[in-house]
Amino acid sequence: MSEIGGVAGATAAPSGSTQTAGSSLGKDDFLRLLTAQLRYQDPMSPMDDKDFMGQMAQFTSLEQLTNVAGSMERLSFASQVTESVGLLGRTVFWDGESGEQSGAVDGVSIADGAIHLRVGDTEIVPGQVRRVE
């Protein structure tokens, strides 16, 4: 079997790669490996059709799973925004520097992907809220 050069020695993920810290291979890595495998296969002994179809099915499943995970993240964030907007006008209690603090929620903002509740001159994150009245 011939050796595949360039793939085994790769150390950095290319831009646009979906590889995250702690994961072994992303979908871009899988596609590069499949392409390299096809390029360097022995023409006298090509890959079995069943193996090729299995790998393509794995790639399709991986891509769909990645899409579902992204959709779930967006849905979760939208739900958090909706819940935060539902606090407008309500009195919230949270632990501040000087003990328990409270106030009515005047506004909701999103900055750098994080939700903030404005209570008077103070901004808190929804995770700080301990009680709602």
Instruction: For 71-96, write each residue's pLDDT tens digit.
Output: 999 999 999 999 999 999 999 999 98
Neighbouring C-alpha atoms within 13 Å toward the C-beta of 85: 7
Domain 86-132: CATH architecture, name and number where available: Roll (2.30)
Please give the mean pLDDT across all residues of the chain: 79
- The number of residues in the chain equals 133
Enter the DSSP assignment of 126.
Answer: G
Higher pLDDT, 25 or 10: 25
Q: Does 66 have pLDDT greater than 50? A: yes
Top pLDDT among 100 and 40 is at 100
Domain boundaries, the chain: 27-78, 86-132
Long-range contacts of 72-78 (CB under 8 A, 24+ apart): 77/113
pTM score > 0.85 for this model? no
Question: Which residue, 115, 111, 118, is CA-closest to 126?
Answer: 115
